[in-house]
A and B are shown apart, each in its own frame.
Chain A
Amino acid sequence: MILVIAESRGSKLNRASWETIAAAQQLGSPIVVGLPGAGGDSLQAAAAELAEAAVQEVVTIESPSLESYTADGYTAGLESAIRELAPGIIVLPHTYQTRDFAPKLAARLDRAILTDVIGIKNVDGALTFVRPIFQGKLTAEVVPEGLGPHLITFQLGAFRADAVARGPSPVAVRTLAVSVDAAAIRQKPEAPFQEGKQAVDLSQAERIVAVGRGIKEQSNLSIARALAEALGAEIAASRPICDAGWLPMERQVGSSGQTVAPKVYIALGISGAIQHLVGMKGANTIVAINKDPDAPIFEVADYGIVGDLFEIVPALSKALSE
């Protein structure tokens, strides 16, 4: 039996849970989806959603100590559940939360754990897992060793949530009560929060839209802002824009400004002078839009569009909202 550990906050399921079910379905059957929590309506609502998948059943793993996530609590609760359910393999999404407890759970069970897996292969009858290594420069095929059940965490986005096969009708949802000693939980978490917008810390931004001289006039910043809004990104700029006072100094990216490492960096009308480059070279994916095909920014961009940003950027904002 394949045990999927799903993740939710309140009644909201983490989308990655669906990706994990898709991966599990690739592994085989039967599949049981476990959802830890403290019980109650929100947990039941999330569980009901999971029941739409083509799995054997959904089990809510319940204890009052599992109300908020803690590493100690989840490890203890899931350890109990696993001993009870006796799966052949345990799969989880490689979320921040999973990274916090899954290795501990594996060490507690003394079982192998493979993390950040992007694919599954069957090599000579043995289940082999594909994962990136050396920052994606190489790909490794790995087999877990020792007694099962083994734990596998899947990289976010490696499997597609919309590839999950749905069942003809919702499956059964049952409760598995586990005993977790509240006194043994050493972490005391506070409520999660989002960082306030007063201080601009571009170095933590996951998405950035940056403008350069190509924006020509201050009034044109609005199209960049619209794109940033559509993308859920922070706005930033190269030095001349901040020098001219069109954006505050905290938004300057470059050797005399901020160094950023977002997942995506969209450079609008930025030539790519080296002082700017060194501030954003850590970006995962760089998109450059510039009317000059020889602009140095295209040397470092992953995606480039040569053209008029005043036409392309509004089109991009529109395409994103679709």
Chain B
Amino acid sequence: MSTLILWLLVLAFGGAFAAQVATRVRLIVAAPNTITLDHLGARIRRFVVNVIGQRQTIVERPVAGLAHAFVFWGFIAFAGYTTAEFLRGLGLVDLTHARWFLGYRIIITPFAVAVIVGILYLLVRRTVARPVALGEKVSVESVVIALLIAALMITFLLAWRLPPESVAGHVNWWVHSIVILVFLALIPASKHFHLVLSPLTVFLKSEELGHVPNLDFEREQVGLETVKDLGSKSVLDALTCVECGRCQINCPAWGAGKALNPKAIILQTQAALLAGHRDAKLGEVYSEQVLWQCTTCGACESQCPVGIEHLPVLIGARRGLVSNGDAPEYLGAMYNNLERRSNIWGLNYDQRQKFVDSASLETFDPTRHDVLVWLGCAGAFEAEYQKSLRSLFEILRSRNVRFGVLSKERCTGDTAKRTGNEYMFQELAAANIEDLKAAGPKKIVTSCPHCVKTIGADYRRFGYEVEIVHSSVFVEQLTRDITASGERVVTYHDPCYLGRYSGTVDEPRALLNRFGAQVAEPERTRKNPYCCGGGGGLLFADQEEEPGSRISDVRFKQLENTGASTVVTACPFCSIMLRGAQSSAANGERADRVPAQDVQFVDLMTFVNGQLNRT
């Protein structure tokens, strides 16, 4: 009798589970396939470390992360127990009286306690502490699930005390089993679907941060215009979101009070998918304005513990808009500059030649030169940044590195790619690659992290592979034999495209320490810096019209708060944005630090060269 009832319940709740899962699987299958399986070894490693080991969850929020880890490990541990109990209840096979089962129950008991401690902590955190990242309203769904989990563990522990054949024992068993079935049926429609999906999404996440494949013009791809254009990985991502808010609170746009919220983007995607709005325009699902507030810094993606990739959605939606002529006006002007002048500023090429001549640079010749120095568009035209390049040239010459530059460079296409103008990007890339292949360098050194990413990673998709390093890495290797004394306190702003995208955080610090500086770290640093606000086309934005403050202003304050009076930068755009923030910052005396206007900005290369000249 009870077996029959259990069967009916299993079929009913199991059926509800299966039906809901089927809807979601259909959405995934209907989407254009964007799942890749390259770098299998790295993926497996990532799976083991982050899913099994829960590393990412713990690292950013240690206590809550550990609490979650307890719950997760508890789940894994209980899998065998739950299966055995149901097999017995359904009259299939009884493993629960085997000798090993008792031992198993003993082993998982401490897990049960850990789960209770963990879930209670998380429940209190969610309902009492109410961190911003978890949203404005308390999620009823989360509270219910938490109570169900607690009930499962409590009933398990009670089973030690209650004789199995007694009424109380039976009731306890049924409560436990029904709670499991209810839980099963609730999972798909809640954020707890991540139980099923997140191991998958973590495994399927691309090794490359901000993996946005090239559009195939032959197949008339234009980017993401409507909900049905979203790729299968993006659909998986939308369904797996745990609403933890790590992406949100690390987002520099959100941090500056703008409307962009990466968590909202993913949840809006989820809502549109589940509502079946296949033909809804993405520009309306997210509200277009929000899409242009992203600097592509990648904080969202790199913080996400369940492997969600936000950038393909954001940049993909941008592409859809740009392909239809709906880019904001300031970007349209920039695209015309790229088309007519091959640089984002729209300046004439004589200026680059003037710099090349005045710095006595040679045209790159593989038979005579060790490395090619890529100037980039800031290097070609921006007077402030050219000072930093002159420092780099001095360092290279003093260390007898023979180098040359290309006689003609075009913008790498970074800004075009990140803002969604794929056509412009591919035109520039193809032309640059032709010139680079003809020049034949084995190694390229550049001081612009955006060029490092674009030439090093994005050009690879066109079949062009070359070793390209940021000047900090190259110079660090060059100067290992030097030590300098000094106790100067500086602060260092990690460029997003260097720290987060390339993982290059140690070399700049090694250089600073080697040349007598102590680095006072700002609150967001190393592989999780707070963006300067220049990427993703925002360098050109009319930010006056938007709510909130400027991202660069927020970062400038963070750097000031370190108390250091010197800010070291390693990217031309960070330098432009932060200097801009400085010139807008209010002046005036302050007790604990120098006035904003007296903060010194110095590029890393200029700093190193200055110190080298002193020794």
Within 8 A of A (CB), among B507-557: 539-544
Most buried by B among A274, A278, A281: A274
Q: How far is A272 from B351 in the complex, measured between Cα atoms in Å?
A: 14
When distances are taken between beta carbons in the complex, the residues of chain A under 8 Å from B583 are 213, 239-240, 273
When distances are taken between beta carbons in the complex, the residues of chain B under 8 Å from A249 are 544
Any chain B CB within 8 A of the CB of A229? no
When distances are taken between beta carbons in the complex, the residues of chain B under 8 Å from A259 are 333
Within 8 A of B (CB), among A246-283: 249, 255-256, 259, 272-275, 277-278, 281
Residue of B nearest to A278 (CB): B345
Any chain A CB within 8 A of the CB of B330? yes
When distances are taken between beta carbons in the complex, the residues of chain A under 8 Å from B584 are 239-240, 243-244
Most buried by B among A213, A249, A278: A278
Taking a contact as CB atoms under 8 Å apart, the answer to whether B347 and A273 are in contact is: no
Q: How far is A259 from B351 in the complex, measured between Cα atoms in Å?
A: 20
Q: How many residues of B contact A (CB 8 A)?
A: 23
Q: How far is A201 from B441 in the complex, measured between Cα atoms in Å?
A: 49
Taking a contact as CB atoms under 8 Å apart, the answer to whether A296 and B384 are in contact is: yes
Any chain B CB within 8 A of the CB of A190? no
Taking a contact as CB atoms under 8 Å apart, the answer to whether A274 and B543 are in contact is: no
When distances are taken between beta carbons in the complex, the residues of chain A under 8 Å from B378 are 274
Q: Known interface pairs A256-B330, A256-B540, A256-B541. Does A274 touch B381 (Cβ–Cβ under 8 Å)?
A: yes
Q: How far is A299 from B583 in the complex, measured between Cα atoms in Å?
A: 21
Any chain A CB within 8 A of the CB of B80? no
Q: Known interface pairs A255-B330, A296-B383. Does A273 touch B580 (Cβ–Cβ under 8 Å)?
A: yes
Render A72-85 as a binary contact track against B, CB cut-off 8 A, 1 for contact. Answer: 00000000000000
Render B369-396 as a binary contact track against A, CB cut-off 8 A, 1 for contact. Answer: 0000000001001111000000000000
What's the minimum C-beta distance from A143 to chain B, rounded to whole angstroms? 32
Q: How far is A272 from B583 in the complex, measured between Cα atoms in Å?
A: 13
Any chain A CB within 8 A of the CB of B346? yes
Any chain A CB within 8 A of the CB of B24? no
Taking a contact as CB atoms under 8 Å apart, the answer to whether A256 and B543 are in contact is: yes
Most buried by A among B333, B381, B583: B583
When distances are taken between beta carbons in the complex, the residues of chain A under 8 Å from B211 are none
Taking a contact as CB atoms under 8 Å apart, the answer to whether A277 and B541 are in contact is: no
Taking a contact as CB atoms under 8 Å apart, the answer to whether A255 and B383 are in contact is: no
What's the minimum C-beta distance from B245 to chain A, rounded to whole angstroms? 31
Which one of A240, A272, A275 lies within 8 Å of B576 (CB-CB)? A275
Residue of B nearest to A213 (CB): B583
When distances are taken between beta carbons in the complex, the residues of chain B under 8 Å from A239 are 580, 583-584
What's the minimum C-beta distance from B547 to chain A, rounded to whole angstroms? 16
Residue of B nearest to A252 (CB): B544
When distances are taken between beta carbons in the complex, the residues of chain B under 8 Å from A273 are 384, 576, 579-580, 583
Residue of A nearest to B383 (CB): A296
What's the minimum C-beta distance from B417 to chain A, rounded to whole angstroms? 19
Within 8 A of B (CB), among A219-244: 239-240, 243-244
Which one of A244, A275, A278, A281 lies within 8 Å of B580 (CB-CB)? A275
What's the minimum C-beta distance from A9 to chain B, rounded to whole angstroms? 37
What's the minimum C-beta distance from A95 to chain B, rounded to whole angstroms? 29
When distances are taken between beta carbons in the complex, the residues of chain A under 8 Å from B542 are 256
What's the minimum C-beta distance from A172 to chain B, rounded to whole angstroms? 53
Most buried by B among A259, A275, A277: A275
Taking a contact as CB atoms under 8 Å apart, the answer to whether A278 and B383 are in contact is: no
Q: Known interface pairs A213-B583, A239-B580, A274-B345. Does A256 touch B544 (Cβ–Cβ under 8 Å)?
A: yes
Taking a contact as CB atoms under 8 Å apart, the answer to whether A274 and B330 are in contact is: no
Q: How far is A213 from B596 in the complex, measured between Cα atoms in Å?
A: 14
Residue of B nearest to A299 (CB): B383
Q: How far is A243 from B381 in the complex, measured between Cα atoms in Å?
A: 25
Which one of B346, B541, B543, B544 lies within 8 Å of A278 (CB-CB)? B346
When distances are taken between beta carbons in the complex, the residues of chain A under 8 Å from B544 are 249, 256
What's the minimum C-beta distance from B391 to chain A, rounded to whole angstroms? 14
When distances are taken between beta carbons in the complex, the residues of chain A under 8 Å from B539 are 255, 275
Which one of A213, A272, A281 lies within 8 Å of B346 (CB-CB)? A281
Taking a contact as CB atoms under 8 Å apart, the answer to whether B330 and A281 are in contact is: no
Within 8 A of A (CB), among B265-310: none
Render B88-106 as a binary contact track against A, CB cut-off 8 A, 1 for contact. Answer: 0000000000000000000
Residue of A nearest to B583 (CB): A240
When distances are taken between beta carbons in the complex, the residues of chain B under 8 Å from A240 are 583-584
When distances are taken between beta carbons in the complex, the residues of chain B under 8 Å from A299 are 351, 354, 383
Taking a contact as CB atoms under 8 Å apart, the answer to whether A281 and B579 are in contact is: no
Render A287-321 as a binary contact track against B, CB cut-off 8 A, 1 for contact. Answer: 00000000010010000000000000000000000
When distances are taken between beta carbons in the complex, the residues of chain A under 8 Å from B346 are 278, 281
Within 8 A of A (CB), among B158-178: none
When distances are taken between beta carbons in the complex, the residues of chain B under 8 Å from A272 are 383
When distances are taken between beta carbons in the complex, the residues of chain B under 8 Å from A256 are 330, 540-544
Q: How far is A66 from B544 in the complex, measured between Cα atoms in Å?
A: 51
Render B358-378 as a binary contact track against A, CB cut-off 8 A, 1 for contact. Answer: 000000000000000000001
When distances are taken between beta carbons in the complex, the residues of chain A under 8 Å from B354 are 299
Taking a contact as CB atoms under 8 Å apart, the answer to whether A277 and B345 are in contact is: yes
Q: How far is A278 from B344 in the complex, measured between Cα atoms in Å?
A: 10
What's the minimum C-beta distance from A259 to chain B, rounded to whole angstroms? 8
Q: How far is A278 from B576 in the complex, measured between Cα atoms in Å?
A: 13
When distances are taken between beta carbons in the complex, the residues of chain A under 8 Å from B576 are 273-275
What's the minimum C-beta distance from B329 to chain A, rounded to whole angstroms? 11
Which one of A243, A244, A274 lies within 8 Å of B382 (CB-CB)? A274
Q: How far is A275 from B385 in the complex, measured between Cα atoms in Å?
A: 13
Q: How far is A277 from B580 in the complex, measured between Cα atoms in Å?
A: 13
Q: How far is A277 from B378 in the complex, measured between Cα atoms in Å?
A: 13
Q: How far is A77 from B420 in the complex, measured between Cα atoms in Å?
A: 57
Most buried by A among B539, B579, B580, B584: B580
When distances are taken between beta carbons in the complex, the residues of chain A under 8 Å from B543 are 256
Residue of A nearest to B384 (CB): A296
Taking a contact as CB atoms under 8 Å apart, the answer to whether B382 and A255 are in contact is: no
When distances are taken between beta carbons in the complex, the residues of chain B under 8 Å from A274 are 345, 378, 381-384, 576
What's the minimum C-beta distance from A23 to chain B, rounded to whole angstroms? 33
Render A191-218 as a binary contact track against B, CB cut-off 8 A, 1 for contact. Answer: 0000000000000000000000100000
Taking a contact as CB atoms under 8 Å apart, the answer to whether A255 and B540 are in contact is: yes
When distances are taken between beta carbons in the complex, the residues of chain A under 8 Å from B383 are 272, 274, 296, 299
When distances are taken between beta carbons in the complex, the residues of chain B under 8 Å from A243 are 584
Q: How far is A256 from B584 in the complex, measured between Cα atoms in Å?
A: 14
When distances are taken between beta carbons in the complex, the residues of chain A under 8 Å from B345 are 274, 277-278, 281
Q: How far is A296 from B544 in the complex, measured between Cα atoms in Å?
A: 25
Q: How far is A296 from B355 in the complex, measured between Cα atoms in Å?
A: 12
Q: How far is A256 from B383 in the complex, measured between Cα atoms in Å?
A: 19
When distances are taken between beta carbons in the complex, the residues of chain A under 8 Å from B384 are 273-274, 296
Residue of A nearest to B550 (CB): A243
Q: How far is A296 from B386 in the complex, measured between Cα atoms in Å?
A: 10
What's the minimum C-beta distance from A151 to chain B, rounded to whole angstroms? 34
What's the minimum C-beta distance from B418 to chain A, rounded to whole angstroms? 17
Q: How far is A281 from B540 in the complex, measured between Cα atoms in Å?
A: 16
Render B25-56 as a binary contact track against A, CB cut-off 8 A, 1 for contact. Answer: 00000000000000000000000000000000
Interchain residue pairs A-B with the least CB separation, the first 6: A296-B383, A240-B583, A243-B584, A274-B382, A278-B345, A255-B540
14 A-B pairs besides A249-B544, A256-B544, A274-B383 with CB distance below 8 A are A240-B584, A243-B584, A244-B584, A259-B333, A273-B580, A274-B345, A274-B576, A275-B576, A275-B580, A277-B345, A278-B345, A281-B346, A296-B382, A299-B351
A–B complex contacts, Cβ < 8 Å, 5 sampled: A255-B539, A274-B382, A274-B384, A274-B576, A299-B351
Residues of chain B whose beta carbon lies under 8 Å from any beta carbon of chain A: 330, 333, 345-347, 351, 354, 378, 381-384, 539-544, 576, 579-580, 583-584
